[in-house]
Amino acid sequence: MLTVTDLKVAIDADAGLVRAIDGLSLCIERGETFALVGESGCGKSMTALALMRLLPDNGRVTDGRVEIEGQETLSLPESAMRRLRGGRIGMIFQEPATSLNPVMRVGDQIVEAIETHTALRGASARAKAVEWLGRVGIPEPERRVDDYPFRMSGGQKQRVMIAIALAAEPAFLVADEPTTALDVAIQAQILELLKQLQREQGMGLLLITHDLAVVSGMAQRVALMYAGQIVEVASAAEFFSEPKHPYARLLLQSLPQAHQRGAVLAAIAGTVPPLSQEFVGCRFAPRCDRAFDRCHSEAPALLPPFTPEMAGVISSREVRCWLHASPADVSAAEPLKGPAEPLGAVAALQPVRVVPQGVELLLDVQHLSVRFPIRSGVFQRIASHSVAVDDVSLQIRRGETFALVGESGCGKTTLGKAIVQLLRGQADIEGRAVIDGQDLFGLRGEALRLARRSVQMIFQDPYASLNPRMRVFEVLEEGVLTLRPELDGGARRALLESLVDRVGLRREVLQRYPHEFSGGQRQRIAIARALAVEPRLIVCDEPTSALDVSVQAQILNLLKQLQRDLGLAYLFITHHLGVVEYIADHLAVMHRGRIAEAGPAVELLAHPREDYTRRLLAAVPRLVRS
């Protein structure tokens, strides 16, 4: 269905010519799920944009061929390519917030795709749009079809994006991080929908993701990318049971697993190298724990791995590594192993430090409710209210990680924002949130400003929450100027330099802008900003959801180290139960604005009492290893 041969993509940037993709080849059969995995910045999303001919203005294909069902697409005129996109080839984009038109109703955006690529028109197209909203798990699709994107949660916007991509029932689908912003229940529903379409239509699927558990349950074959090149191709069973490339082994060991509770994750040192440089040897060699002289002086090719028993046998498995290139290198190398334990085995949960009941109570939330007004009519009068948080009570002690999980749209983020006092004037709020003996909802003016030093927030999307016009120094200094006015210029400079040191960044980042960093680096900047005013509680809203597994391991290690060093407490909002298994002391499951079940994380994960919690845990994707 899809054949890519020696694809090369270059981008003209200020740093010079960036070779974003360098000689990529792959073949995907009808009905097959082919997964493309790797760290941020390795070229996965650029591959997807190149296949769809949606490269940025400064990007271009410099070499190679792309064929869809035998038709070469790189030479097609744009008018023909527009007919191909959305009809025969669909794409789910990575960031729904920027992919959806903010001034069009979501139903109109789905109808646009249906009317462009199918024979349906008018009421029939609208009915089909409502049907697709229901199929991707949007509640009350008949009503939500007329909503604008801003009225939907991040996970709901992602589902709308998926509905647009699937509405014309394409023969081939490029899915770039299709489930990143989704909770496990909706993720399972979407993945089952994709499998169903593959069975019914023979749809080919290129799945780009950093969720290796999803890959192990969905894909037949896996390609691992690093620095613009594919470094390993194998069947999913081979890849997860016996990774060949050192990068694959380290990536699998970076996954947060239940048996590692309280331990430091095996994060990969360093970052993906800039693709504007000229490479001499293996691109992974500077970060590899098994590199030798040849790795630094000569670039390996992507070839079937050598083993004595497979000599002369044609293999579909390929690896770009000198350790597997010749009999001499193979005999000198130790075998590479995958992770010692399967991911997320709840039965394997190990005891972790439990914060004693006698430890100081830091935050006491009692009977908190948040209602948003629904306006209608010409004068936009309030017609009714939407209840986002309904009578929620919780307690967090000093030094504790309190995890809050649940489906997208259940009220997790709203609860966090309400505690941090970010919904004043937008919603009707009832209840109490007491920290340091003060009820945050009763404070005004100077008293509220001083109380903000105690509680800060790390937002879900670090790119959207960092001012693009401000340098990192200004971003970090802004909160210090407001909440720590006693510090003079020299003390502020020293504080900010120590902050970037603490979160693992170089001091020169202070003079750069947010767009110059990777997702993981931006998240570290967001963490530094939260730490700048020395809070006692940090609300972490999906702090690792958009990160690949190696960067996720770095951020989780950082958060745990900061907690040990500074005695921080976290309200950790997430839909990633693998992370919860690793990091949480206490766990609350939220459903439709209420707490459905709460308790010590170890006990709740091993012995859930509520049916909803059991269903949520059953939907968690597990790493399948043979």
Task: Return the structure tokens found at 316.
Answer: 């579909």
Output the pLDDT for position 187.
83
Count Cα neighbours of 490 within 13 Å in the Cβ-side half-sphere. Answer: 0
pLDDT, residue 355, reads: 47
SS3 13: strand
Cα dist. 3→28, 69, 375 in Å?
Answer: 7, 8, 51
**Cβ(522)–Cβ(503) below 8 Å:** no
* Cα gap 571→530, rounded to integer Å: 13
Bridging pattern class, strands 381-397 and 59-68: unpaired
Q: Which residue positions in the chain have pLDDT lower than 50?
A: 311-313, 330-357
Q: Which long-range contacts (CB under 8 A, 24 or more apart) does 278-286 make?
A: 279/227, 282/320, 282/321, 282/322, 283/226, 283/227, 283/228, 283/229, 284/226, 284/227, 284/231, 284/245, 284/246, 284/247
Rounded Cα–Cα distance for residues 477 and 495 (Å): 9
- On whether the CB atoms of residues 198 and 31 are closer than 8 A, the answer is yes
Residue type for position 45: S
- Report pLDDT for 326: 65
* Residues 119-156: tens digit of each pLDDT: 999 999 999 999 999 988 888 999 999 999 988 877 78
Q: Are strands 2-13 and 59-68 parallel, antiparallel or unpaired?
A: antiparallel
Amino acid at 23: G
Residues 386 and 411 sit within 8 Å (Cβ to Cβ) = no
Find, among 475, 433, 427, 476, the residue nearest to 455 by Cα.
433
pLDDT, position 236? 93
Q: How far is CA 203 from the centre of its chain?
A: 25
The amino acid occupying position 291 is A
Block residue for tokens 């079809």: 145
Written as one letter, the residue type at 333 is A
DSSP state of 335: P
- Residue pLDDT, tens place only, 327-336: 655 444 444 4
DSSP run (H or E) holding 405: strand 401-406
Quick one: three-class SS letters along 75-135? CCCHHHHHHHECCCEEEECCCHHHHCCCCCCHHHHHHHHHHHHCCCCHHHHHHHHHHHHHH
Residue-range domain boundaries for the chain: 99-169, 243-332, 464-534
